[in-house]
Structure 1
Amino acid sequence: MTSYSPLTTAECAAVFLMLLEDQEAAGLLGQLQPDELQLVGTTMCALGEIAPGKVADAIAGFVAEAEIEGLPLDDRQQRVSALISQAVGPVKGESLMQRIAPDAMPRSIEIARWLSPAILFSLIEEEQPQVIAILLLMLEAETAAQILASLGEEVRPRVVERIARMGQISSDTVSMLDQLLAERIANRFGTAALTLGGAREAANLINLAAPDVGQQVLPAIEKRDADLARAIEAEMFTFEMLLELDAKDMARLLRDVDNQHLVTALKGLDEEGQEPFFAAMSSRAADGVRDEIELLPKLRRSDVTDAQKTIIDLARKLADDGEISIGASDGEFV
């Protein structure tokens, strides 16, 4: 059996580093002091061919050291956050840390992610470029880009320059930004800065999920809160769902729809979206509606939405009366 002289700490470190991928090893070397880096580099070159026994000894040495020293808790979340951010980028890294350690991210910064770019811009437009740069780095890229575009021409390049030069951000800086946002959000919206959730959000999730989700979820909610179930169900009737009506049900609906409401509602759809309505009309009636749509000036989105909601309410009444079927083919939630 071959015997080996015990490895020094520097030799253990050298062997361990050579077991890693180049990028990983370089990351560790970058954390050493100059004298430590010189010692480890010299040792790596001097080791020559490394026998399997020395590899095992190096690993055993680290295991023994770990049994004595352990790993300190100090700044653990900050270190994990830095490593994850380095691996997947700052935006994805912060999102992951919010799931891993929900209390690690300041609450106001997380709330800011829900605000529109226009509102966020109004909160920080008077701030120093450094503050704006830090916030932009903590937002999704698309939102940050819209805020950047809203900045004045003098401020914009200064913010971009600071983003390009940004290194590590101290926890004190993040806390300062969190406090600033907390004050601005409270002044703008009150202490209840955001109302998250609601029947519409719940309905949107159900609409996006598989069909059987709504069929299982709504009856279960109705047993506990019938009013809430009805509120969610009402939001599930979207104008787009009317495009799936068969010709018979569409024709029945159109008999009760005011022509002006129909013209205004269809103005908000492209030709493909309008076609199911035209297909249920006579050629003459369809041509007349098309002409009216062409003659309409540009409308406010709210006017189109109101007209569509009126038609949705009518469709819902007809569905409740059993005259048309909307939604699931098995008749659920109509």
Structure 2
Amino acid sequence: MTGADEIEQPADAQAPAPLLNRIDRAAVFLMLLGDEEAANLLARLGPNELERLGSAMVALGEVDQPGIAEALQDFVSEADREVLPAKDRSVQVRSLLERSLGSTKAESMMQRIEPEARPRSIEMARWLAPNVLLKLVEDEHPQVIAALLLMLDPEPAAEVLSALPEDKQANVVTRVAKIGPISSQAIAMIDSLLSQRIGASFGSSALVLGGPREAANLINLAEGELARTVLPTIAQLDPALAEAIEEEMFTFEMLLELDPQAMGRLLRDVENEALVDALKGLKDEQRAPFFAAMSSRAADGIRDEIELRGRLARSEVQVAQRKIVEVARSLADQGEIVIGSDDGEFV
């Protein structure tokens, strides 16, 4: 008998007969993957292939360890026959990143991971104080300014935009909204421009490194109870700075990790309007921890209010989220909930 779904004959007289045919081995391999990975692979099949493989998955029954090992070995053997060409690898990676991140973020990521990537002035510009960056580009064409703003983080980009002459702001915003993908040639041009300007006017005051947020991030990422030892020492030297760092250590994103019981305790003290505004700025999956701590009726009510709420400025969402964080901090100080890691970092 022939066909890809028939049991293969041994390569020589001593080799044992395969336990599974090729289709069954593929079915076993798919079932060993996570649901999302398996679904992505199945989506690439044609109707006939999908029908044969789906039928095999349904009909397999229990597969023992030797069968699993055979399926994995078959995959390894097939992989050994393939060659991944090195030619145009950077182009391939860039294309994948652009599909998942967008052109601007993909370019920034390629600058970090490309083996022979040269330092870029655009990356340097991301560290410049907005007022310094403004001086470098304020006389440029609105199209150039718009492209550069799209390569910056939103907050400093907004500061640069706000500081531009009023007669140029609308033109720049219009181009930001209509610019579309930024070509590699345009990025190279902006890079060259910034290199010249930075080289001519860059000084020690241009770089703004550090700050309470960066200090808080370091403490949050450090192991052990660094906050317990560092913050009291800083508070003795500079109480205002210690308070600013502590405020940055408690982020709204940390609340997404609360278990349903702690989240429920938090929501009892949160004003409904603040909750709606705070959740308005989140994606559906980020809202899930909040809804999981509510009754179905309450969750449906909040969903309806979110839908009915008009457009909110980013600043309004942030104010609402900060209110909830303050409530969470108060509860954490009272020992009613734990925010952060489970190693006692925030108790």
TM-score by length of 2: 0.47
Largest Rg, 1 or 2: 1
TM-score by length of 1: 0.48
